[in-house]
Amino acid sequence: MMIESTPPELPVNALNELKDHLRITLSHEDAKLYSLIRASLEICANFIGTQPLLCQFNEQFPIQNDWRYLSKSPVVMIESVQGLSAMGEVINLPVQDYAIDINAQSKGRVLIHDAHNIQHIKVSYSAGLSENWDMLPDQLRSGIIRLAAHIYSNRNLDESVQPPVAIAALWQPYRRMRLR
């Protein structure tokens, strides 16, 4: 399975929130601070089990005879389903040859009815809790900023410093239980 994603655009106000938290007024470290926010977003996504901000994903997986769940959630829209031949050629599938569904838990899934000699499926979709930074719940946004600030503030320490427990407490209400 392979997943490619297009990261969300972070607005200037996300950077300004982090700079305010750190009491930074100069702009010479803006690129580094943006990368810390992106890293914190990814850590948040892994912790809560959902994408905080809307992102575009392209996921490839082998053909199977049952529903195949998409890896990221909450799925907002499944844009396209294409087949990939053994040679890597992209094959546009007729709509009647597959089914798509987004269930009540916002998990997307795909079912292939007719494989047309394809080996893999490529699904393009959008997933995320919020369309933009400003619509992100305050607890998630605050935890992301605090984590980025924590990483920035402890960047020169030799030993590993654990993030504050308060960040996990902010994110806990949004965490999805995973049963295996």
DSSP assignment of 72-141 equals: SSSEEEEEEEEEE-TT--EEEPPGGGEEEEE-TT--EEEEES--TT-SEEEEEEEE-SBSSGGGS-HHHH
Question: 112 and 70 in one domain?
Answer: yes
pLDDT, one tens digit per residue, over 149-163 is: 999 998 887 666 677
Beta strand 2-6 with 90-92: parallel, antiparallel or unpaired? unpaired
Structural domain including 159 reads 8-51+131-174
Total domains present in the chain? 2
Q: How far are the Cα atoms of 11, 70, 123 from residue 104, in angstroms, in the given order?
A: 30, 14, 20
User: What pLDDT score was predicted for residue 179?
Assistant: 55
Q: Is residue 29 part of a domain?
A: yes
User: What pLDDT score was predicted for residue 158?
Assistant: 64
Question: 94 and 114 in one domain?
Answer: yes
Question: 121 and 70 in one domain?
Answer: yes
pLDDT, one tens digit per residue, over 62-118 is: 988 899 999 999 999 999 999 988 888 888 888 899 999 999 999 999 999 887 788
pLDDT, one tens digit per residue, over 99-113 is: 999 999 999 999 998
Asked whether the predicted pLDDT for residue 5 surpasses 90, the reply is no
Question: 123 and 59 in one domain?
Answer: yes
Per-residue pLDDT band at 18 (split at 50, 70, 90): very high
